[in-house]
Amino acid sequence: MKIPELTPRMMRDWLLEEDSARLEQLWYMANFVRERKVGQDVFLRGLIEFSNRCARNCTYCGLRAANGDIARYSLSERDMIGCVGVALELGIGTLVMQSGEGVALETEQLLRFFRFVRHEKKMALTLSVGELSDVEFLAFREAGVNRYLLRFETSNKALYNHIHPAKKNCVEGNQKNGNHTDSDRIRMLRKLRELNFEVGSGVMVGIPGQTVDDLVNDLLLFRELDLDMVGIGPYMPHPETPLALEFEDHKSSYVCSNRELLTYKMIALTRIILPDANIPSTTALATLNREHGRVLGLQRGANILMPNITPQEYRSEYSIYPEKAGTSMGPDDSYAAAVSAIAQAGRTVGAGKGDSLRYLARKGNH
Ligand code: SAH
Ligand code: SF4
């Protein structure tokens, strides 16, 4: 099968396509490319939400500093080492360490933990803690962190600025990031590439005010940045955030009202334009469509799942959006749900670290 080179016009047409029979062609193409380029394996990442403390005030996220309604926590080093044991018992070879930004944990403590995970346990390690200085990126890279995940959220600059209040509006204490005043995640993504990380980014779909043209530009930016990993999830309104009010006004717009279908389309189009990238079927998708979201993501281009291995008692406080799938589960159940989704999608659980083939190709190793 010859997959056509997608022009921006064709991307736009697919994003606007409503005929389900024609959309089958898109799903077919994405699945075909996925199978040919990254195969049948779905790789698992053990997600540790190690702290919900955050100095930022992103208007969409329940962890924003101004939200006084959640109990803030940071896992102890002992808890985190416990999570590593759980991951290894489940046969998961890679960890994704995620938290709020700026005030989560002492860098020294994290560096020690990362060295332990990489050098003693030989696991792959993804960090997702928001914006850092170049010096911090380098320190984490040197400690063995080999992947970094920083979504640019939307390529529309005005919309980006609107949903990310300037840092001066954030709580004090985020001085660690003092060497940059603007939120320039694109620059950081390029820096991460320079530092030899496997670079992951992505967007939310259905942000109030987002347009189909914005989504086309998101896809073009994925390609321009030549990302190794792309995470795409629907925007989920959180009642304790300012953006949820705006969502009420926009919810009948095309992008907001079709955000589940548009998320599948974005996953499928991303697979076609970046055939060998790693693409997760996201938790937000599994939350919006509890029964089928995870599986449909896998069938429409995705090849990664991130079962949550955070101890259950902390999960309800990591409420970036409400009713997040898996909140009432422990690590074993989250793992079982992932394995069951893989079986339902007719695929196999990948063994090993599941490095991005995109990354390996760039390094000349594949
Ligand atoms: N603090 C880090 C990591 C935690 S947030 C950071 O900001 O990068 C991780 C991701 O959760 C964000 O990139 C965002 O895309 C997603 N997210 C946050 N709030 C969300 C919401 N209300 N709906 C959907 N996704 C959300
Ligand atoms: Fe903090 Fe990340 Fe949420 Fe922004 S998206 S408020 S940086 S946790």
> Which ligand is the nearest neighbour of the Cα of 149?
1
- Could you tell me if the CB of 34 is within 6 A of ligand 2? no
Q: Which atom of ligand 1 is nearest to the CA of 150?
A: 8
Residue 66 is predicted with a pLDDT of 95
- Evaluate whether 86 touches 46 at the Cβ level (below 8 Å): yes
| Banded pLDDT at 181 (limits 50, 70, 90) | very low
Distances (CA, A) of 11 to 18, 210, 260: 13, 16, 17
- DSSP letter for 120, please: I
Distance CA 352, CA 92 (A): 8
Distance CA 218, CA 222 (A): 6
Q: Which residues contact 285 (CB under 8 A, 6 or more apart)?
A: 233, 234, 260, 263, 293, 294, 296, 297
Examine residue 124 and state whether it is found in any structural domain, yes or no. yes
Examine residue 306 and state whether it is found in any structural domain, yes or no. yes
Distance CA 332, CA 356 (A): 26
Examine residue 177 and state whether it is found in any structural domain, yes or no. yes
pLDDT tens-digit readout, 236-286: 999 999 999 999 999 999 999 999 999 999 999 999 999 999 999 999 999
**pLDDT value at 101 more than 90:** yes
Q: Whose CA is nearest to atom 6 of ligand 2?
A: 64
pLDDT tens-digit readout, 302-333: 999 999 999 999 999 999 998 888 888 899 99
Q: Whose CA is nearest to atom 4 of ligand 2?
A: 58
- Could you tell me if the CB of 233 is within 6 A of ligand 1? yes
Least-confidence region, from 78-82, 98-102, 170-174:
170-174
Examine residue 64 and state whether it is found in any structural domain, yes or no. yes
Q: What is the mean pLDDT of the chain?
A: 92
Residue 125 is predicted with a pLDDT of 96
Ligand 1 probe mutation, 61, 150, 319, most atoms within 8 A of CB: 61
Top pLDDT among 364 and 350 is at 350
> Which ligand is the nearest neighbour of the Cα of 64?
2
Examine residue 68 and state whether it is found in any structural domain, yes or no. yes
> Which ligand is the nearest neighbour of the Cα of 56?
2
**pLDDT value at 183 more than 80:** no
Examine residue 227 and state whether it is found in any structural domain, yes or no. yes
Question: Ligand 2 mean position to 54 CA, how many Å?
Answer: 6
Distance CA 303, CA 228 (A): 13
Number of domains composing the chain: 1
Ligand 2 probe mutation, 99, 320, 321, 324, most atoms within 8 A of CB: 320
Examine residue 13 and state whether it is found in any structural domain, yes or no. yes
Residue 352 is predicted with a pLDDT of 80
- Evaluate whether 75 touches 314 at the Cβ level (below 8 Å): yes
Q: Which atom of ligand 2 is nearest to the CA of 320?
A: 3
pLDDT tens-digit readout, 212-246: 999 999 999 999 999 999 999 999 999 999 999 99
Examine residue 2 and state whether it is found in any structural domain, yes or no. no
Q: Around Cβ 9, how many Cβ atoms within 10 Å?
A: 9
Q: Which atom of ligand 2 is nearest to the CA of 57?
A: 6
Strand 198-205 and strand 147-149: the pairing is: parallel
| Banded pLDDT at 4 (limits 50, 70, 90) | confident
- Evaluate whether 49 touches 318 at the Cβ level (below 8 Å): yes
- Could you tell me if the CB of 53 is within 6 A of ligand 2? no
- Could you tell me if the CB of 132 is within 6 A of ligand 1? no
Domain, as residue range, for 286: 8-362
- Could you tell me if the CB of 100 is within 6 A of ligand 1? yes
Indicate the residue type of 159: L
pLDDT tens-digit readout, 8-21: 999 999 999 999 99
Identify which of 282, 255, 322, 361 has the alpha carbon closest to the alpha carbon of residue 69.
322
Kindly report the CATH number assigned to the domain that includes residue 346: 3.20.20.70
